[in-house]
Amino acid sequence: MICRSLVAAVFLAGLMPVLAAPIAPGIGEQTAPLTEPLEIFTYRPANCTPTGYLLVFHGVDRNADTYRDDAEPLADRFCLIAVAPLFDKQRFPNWRYQHGGVVHRGAAQRPEHYTASSFSIWSIG
């Protein structure tokens, strides 16, 4: 659990500081200008000033937009911006996304294949 929390915190830190546009109230979609573009599905409550972010990670169906939609009531309740990145199957196959890229076909991968040493700075909000 601590590992998942740490991964989420690091991912969120990368999101905080340049998306193309601020997130408007309601549902939305943007592309994060990283080394490889990453599609991000968002939801921003209309009746409050958001106090933080709610990260929502899809499962094997790769339906980030549905996960974002399902998070809407929670985002409204706690006045948070819901952010659901899409990890497409082509660039993030199951071994790389669901299994963290640590083991592939029974072989441990070198740390540089599944860790990050630097982050692009971009923000949402």
In which domain, by residue range, is 13 found?
Answer: 2-113
- DSSP-derived 3-state class of residue 108: strand
In a domain, 7, yes or no: yes
Q: Is the pTM of this model over 0.75?
A: no
In a domain, 123, yes or no: no
% of the chain beyond a pLDDT of 70: 66
Count of structural domains within the chain: 1
**Where residue 2 falls among pLDDT bands split at 50, 70, 90?**
very low
φ/ψ (deg, to 5) at 83: -130, 120
> Given a cut of 50, is residue 99 above it in pLDDT?
yes
Q: Which token pair is 13?
A: 């830190």
In a domain, 118, yes or no: no
Query: What was the pLDDT predicted at 108?
Result: 75
> Given a cut of 60, is residue 14 above it in pLDDT?
no
More confident residue, 89 or 106: 89
Is the CB of residue 101 less than 8 Å from the CB of residue 95? yes
| 17-72 per-position pLDDT tens digit | 445 568 999 999 999 887 778 899 999 999 999 999 999 999 889 999 999 999 99
DSSP 17-69: ---SSPPPSEEEEEEE-SSS-EEEEEEE-SSS---SEEE----TT--HHHHHH
Q: What is the CATH number of the domain that holds 78?
A: 3.40.50.1820
Using alpha carbons, select from 55, 61, 111 the residue that is nearest to residue 83.
55
In a domain, 100, yes or no: yes
In a domain, 107, yes or no: yes
Top mean pLDDT of 2-16, 65-79, 111-125 is at 65-79
